[in-house]
Amino acid sequence: PSRVFKGMRMSGHMGNVRVTTRNLRVLGVDKDENLLVVEGSVPGPNGGYLVIMKAKKAPRERRGFAGSTTVDPLKAAKRAAKKA
């Protein structure tokens, strides 16, 4: 063919991009060992540098996490009608 087809996979530059991960929860701080314990994954290699800032946006309310129960009002009404 005399051209490159659309979507053809080719080599190129990947990585070395600044990545921002938002709203990670800080679980603990160890001042003696200079460690910060964070819940969740952080980008970068092991032993790499991290820039930690306060969140600019408030975290959204988490729904559906383990231990929570949600009730569908329509299903609850049907169950109540069946029992009665």
Asked if residue 28 belongs to a domain, the reply is: yes
pLDDT digits (tens, 9 = 90+) for 30-71: 999 988 899 888 888 888 888 888 888 887 776 666 666 777
Asked if residue 19 belongs to a domain, the reply is: yes
Whole-model pTM: value is 0.48
DSSP structure string for 4-57? PPTT----------------PEEEEEETTTTEEEEES---S-TT--------SS
Q: Does 1 score more than 90 pLDDT?
A: no
Asked if residue 2 belongs to a domain, the reply is: no
pLDDT class for 14, splitting at 50, 70, 90? Answer: confident
Q: Does 8 score more than 90 pLDDT?
A: yes
Domains in the chain, number: 1
- Domain span at residue 46 reads 10-55
